[in-house]
Structure 1
Amino acid sequence: MSAPQTRSDLDLAQLRRTTGAIADAIGSVIEGKPDVVRIALTALLAEGHLLIEDVPGVGKTMLAKAMARAIDCSVRRVQFTPDLLPSDVTGVSIYNQETRDFEFKPGAIFANVVLGDEINRASPKTQSALLECMEERQVTVDGVTYHLEAPFIVVATQNPIEMEGTYPLPEAQRDRFLARVSMGYPGTASELAMLSSHGSSSPLDLVQPVATAADVRELVAQTREVWVSEAVKQYVVDISESTRSTSDLRLGASPRATLHLLRAARAQAALEGRDHVLPDDVQSLAVPVLAHRLLLTPDALLARRTAQDVVTNLVQRVPVPAGPVS
C-alpha cells in the first residue's frame, strides 16, 4: 500500500529541531521528567488539551507556565475557585454609554495557552463554560460566536487527594482532555538539583522563547500529514471497542477518545522523526489518552483495580496488526 504524496513534503528534521528546543526549554524548569514533557508536547502537536493531576507541590503549574513561555504565545491563567463565574472564563457583553451599544469584553479563555489552575475547585456550571471552547475552539456569548486563535491549548491542573471544596470533573469535561499525566515525585538527584536551581531565583525567569505561534501552527500542520495505515487505524478502533465490552468498565472510550488516540499517535511519530505511525505509538499512549475517561464498575473498584490497569491489560490482549504499517 502506497502512502499519500504529502509524506515526502514532511520536514521532519525541522520539526524535531523545533520540538527538541521546546522540550529543552521546559526541561530546564521541570527536571527529571522527560516523559511528562513529551506528553505535553504530544498534546500540543495533536491539537488537544492536557490535564495534569497530582498532589500539591510537584510542579504542575510550573510545567504549564514553562511550556507557555517556550512557545512565546499569549497566555492567560484562570485560578478556579468556587465563586468563579462562567462569564469570567468566556467573557461578557457590557453596555457602552458612549456608543450606546453592547461591547464584548473577552474572558480569560481568549489566549493561545490557557492555564486552568485547580480546575476541580470551580462549580460544574463554571466548568461547563469550557466545553464549547475546548471542543469547537469558539465561544458563544449572547448569541454571537467568537473564534479562538490557533494554537489553542488548555492545560488544567487538579489535586485528586484533597476533596474538601472540590467538585469532580464531569465525564463530558474529562473526555475533552486529550491526555492526563501525573507528575510524580522527583528523583533524589533531580530534587537535589532543584534545591540549587530554585533556591535563589525562579528558573522560569531564564526560559527564553524558542518558537512562535506561527511555528506551532506549522508544526501542527506537519503533524496532520503523518501517515496512518488502515491496519493501524483498525488497531486504534479495536482498542477503543475493547473498553466498551469489558466487565471491568461501566463506561468505555468514546469515539472522541478514539480520534484523540489517533491524533496523539501521529504526534508521537512526528516527535520520533517518523512519517508514519507504528502500533508501538498507539500502545504507549493508550493509558494517558484513555484511562481518565473510563468509569470502573463497583466490582473492579472493590478489587482495587485502576483504569490504568484495565487499559494496560486490554492493550496486551488486543491483537497487534500483522499487515503493513509503514
Structure 2
Amino acid sequence: MTEQQNIDKVHIFHEQLKEQLHKFIVGYDNLLDLLSITLLTDGALLMEGIPGTAKTTICKIFAQNIGGKFGRLQGAVDVLPMDVIGVQKYLQSQGDFSFEKGPIFSNVFLVDEINRMTPKAQGALLEALAERQVTVDNLTFPLPYPFVVIATQNPYEMEGTFNLIESQKDRFTLSYQIQYLNVGDEVSILRKGIDRGLYMDTLEQSCEAITTLTDILTMQETVKNVYASDDILAYIGDLIMATRLHNDVKLGISTRGSLSLLRSAMAYAAIHGRDYVIPDDVKFLAIYCFNHRLILKREAVLGGITIQRVISDILESVPVR
C-alpha cells in the first residue's frame, strides 16, 4: 500500500473505534481521541476523575474492541510490587522456580485508582512504562506488543490517596481530567440504563474486535512516518523552553515530555487522515501532554494560579513558526 493508503487505514480504524465506543459511552470525544493516540504511540494514558464517571468501563470496552488481552489491577494500600509484575514460585514437584506473570503482561493494562497504591507499589510500573519490560530476581521479562497502560486516579484531595512521584507521572504520555457530563449527556446515560445498555454482560456481548494486534503494530509504524517539518519541531522546542522559563513554574517539561508531544501530534495527524503535522495538532495536545508534568511554584499556587492557566498563557505567547 502507498503511504496515503496506510494513513487512510489509521483514519478509518479511529473512526470505527469511536463509533464502537460511542455505542456505550456518552460524550468524552477528546478522551476517545487520546485513547487512539496512546495506542498508536505505544504510550500510556493517565485519567483523573471522581469515582463513577465511566473510567473503568471505557478502558474495558477499548481493550475488547482492539482484540487485545486485557489486564487489570485494582489500586489499594496493600498492593505489593509482585501483585503488579508477578512472582517467582518454587515448584516442589519440579525442584525449580517458575515465574507466574502478573496482570501487567497484557496488551491493555488498566491500573484502577493508581494513587491508592503506595509509592513502593507505584514504582513497580517505572521500568514497564519506560522500557517495556520487567525485572524479577535479576531476570528480565519482555512485555507483549502492543503494550498500553491506562491508569485512573481519584483527585488528590480525596481520602486514602498518595501523590504520584514526578518520575512516574513523566512516563505517562498524556493525561486527561474527566469532568461531569452536561445535562443532555446525563439524560442519554439514564436512557441507556433503562434499556439495559449499561450492564457489563450486555457490553461484553456486544463488543467485537475491529482490528488485530498485527494491524495495530503496522499502524504504529505508519504513525512513525508522519512528516513533522523543521518549523513544527522548532515550535515544540519553543513551547518546551517556555515552560522551563515561566515565572510561575518550578519544574518545566522534560525532554521525554517534548518527545511525547511530537509523537502524539504525529498520531493525531494520522487519525485525522493527514501524513503531516500542523501547528493546531501541537496546540490541541499541549494541555494533555503538559498538565501532569508541570509543577508550579508554591507562591503561584497560593496566588490561585492554575496549571491550565499557565499552559494557556504559553500557547498564547509563543508564536507559531
Query: What interval of TM-score do these two structures reach, taking the shorter chain for normalisation?
Result: over 0.9
Residue type of the alignment partner of 1:211:
T
Are positions 1:118 and 2:117 aligned together? no
SS in 1 for 2:149: strand
Residue type of the alignment partner of 1:204:
L
Q: 2:34 corresponds to which residue?
A: 39
Which runs of 5 or more structure 2 residues have no equivalent in the other structure? none
| Structure 2 CA distance for partners of 1:139 and 1:295, relative to 1, 3 Å | same
Residue type of the alignment partner of 2:208:
Q
The separation in 2 between residues aligned to 1:207 and 1:124, in whole angstroms, is 35
Which runs of 5 or more structure 1 residues have no equivalent in the other structure? 1-5, 322-326
The separation in 1 between residues aligned to 2:36 and 2:296, in whole angstroms, is 29
Are positions 1:179 and 2:179 aligned together? no
Q: Is this contact kept in 2: 1:7–1:275, CA < 8 A?
A: no
Q: Is this contact kept in 2: 1:27–1:33, CA < 8 A?
A: no
Q: 1:318 corresponds to which residue?
A: 318
Residue type of the alignment partner of 2:44:
H
Q: Is this contact kept in 1: 2:156–2:163, CA < 8 A?
A: no
Q: Is this contact kept in 2: 1:76–1:114, CA < 8 A?
A: yes
Residue type of the alignment partner of 2:120:
K
Are positions 1:302 and 2:298 aligned together? no
Q: 1:130 corresponds to which residue?
A: 125
Q: 1:14 deviation in Å? A: 1.5
Q: 2:290 corresponds to which residue?
A: 290
Q: 1:98 deviation in Å? A: 2.1
SS in 1 for 2:79: coil
SS in 1 for 2:140: strand
SS in 1 for 2:305: coil
Q: 1:161 deviation in Å? A: 5.2
Residues matched between the structures, number: 316
Q: 1:235 corresponds to which residue?
A: 235
Q: 1:25 corresponds to which residue?
A: 20
Q: Is this contact kept in 1: 2:4–2:275, CA < 8 A?
A: no
TM-score norm. by structure 2 comes to 0.95
| Structure 2 CA distance for partners of 1:7 and 1:172, relative to 1, 3 Å | farther
Q: 2:218 corresponds to which residue?
A: 218
The separation in 1 between residues aligned to 2:301 and 2:4, in whole angstroms, is 49
The separation in 2 between residues aligned to 1:182 and 1:215, in whole angstroms, is 30
| Structure 2 CA distance for partners of 1:7 and 1:160, relative to 1, 3 Å | farther
Q: 1:10 deviation in Å? A: 5.3
1:152-171 equivalences under 5 Å are 152-160=147-155, 162-171=157-166
Q: 1:61 corresponds to which residue?
A: 56
Q: 1:162 deviation in Å? A: 4.7
SS in 1 for 2:109: strand
From 137, 144, 151, give the equivalent of 1:142: 137
From 80, 84, 90, give the equivalent of 1:85: 80
Q: Is this contact kept in 2: 1:7–1:227, CA < 8 A?
A: no
1:269-288 equivalences under 5 Å are 269-288=269-288
Q: Is this contact kept in 1: 2:156–2:162, CA < 8 A?
A: no
Q: 1:183 deviation in Å? A: 2.0
Q: 1:110 deviation in Å? A: 0.3
The separation in 1 between residues aligned to 2:161 and 2:39, in whole angstroms, is 27
261-270 vs 93-102, greater mean Cα deviation: 93-102
Deviating 4+ runs (over 4 angstroms): none
Are positions 1:191 and 2:190 aligned together? no
Q: 1:96 deviation in Å? A: 1.3
Residue type of the alignment partner of 1:241:
M
**CA deviation vs aligned residue, 1:251-298 (integer Å, no higher than 9, x gap):** 000100000000000010001100001111111100101111111111
SS in 2 for 1:92: strand
Are positions 1:102 and 2:101 aligned together? no
Instruction: Give the superposed CA RMSD.
Output: 1.5
TM-score norm. by structure 1 comes to 0.93
Identity among equivalent positions (%) equals 39
312-321 vs 183-192, greater mean Cα deviation: 183-192
1:7-22 equivalences under 5 Å are 8=3, 11-22=6-17
Are positions 1:48 and 2:33 aligned together? no
The separation in 1 between residues aligned to 2:249 and 2:101, in whole angstroms, is 40
Q: 1:9 deviation in Å? A: 6.0
Q: Is this contact kept in 2: 1:171–1:293, CA < 8 A?
A: yes
Are positions 1:263 and 2:260 aligned together? no
The separation in 1 between residues aligned to 2:203 and 2:152, in whole angstroms, is 18
